[in-house]
Amino acid sequence: RTAPSGGDRQSSVDVQKASEAAPVPVSILQQPVAYDSSQSDFEAVQATITNGTLADRDTLLVIVAASGSTGTQAQDLVVTLTVREDAE
């Protein structure tokens, strides 16, 4: 919620899916979302899902990574993931 400032600090968020058939998680996003000093505090950043097919017992993982060595890192990062099921 507080953006990184100065230097090269950034956070990235990826959403990955694993299943019983494919237990190694793979990203379902076009690319991980980068949150860096170009964003303002409390700015929402959206991601593009490229593989949104889910099946019973699939597991979604939200991977957050912080990087950089100078400046102030982001604080209080909030990730919201909404999954809706289409009735068939």
The pLDDT value recorded for residue 88 is: 61
The pLDDT value recorded for residue 54 is: 85
pTM metric for this prediction:
0.79
Residues in the chain where the model's pLDDT stays below 50? none
Long-range contacts of 25-29 (CB under 8 A, 24+ apart): 25/59, 25/61, 26/51, 28/52, 28/60
The pLDDT value recorded for residue 14 is: 94
Residue 62's Cα: distance from chain center in Å?
6
Asked if residue 15 lies in contact with residue 26, where contact means CB atoms within 8 angstroms, the answer is no
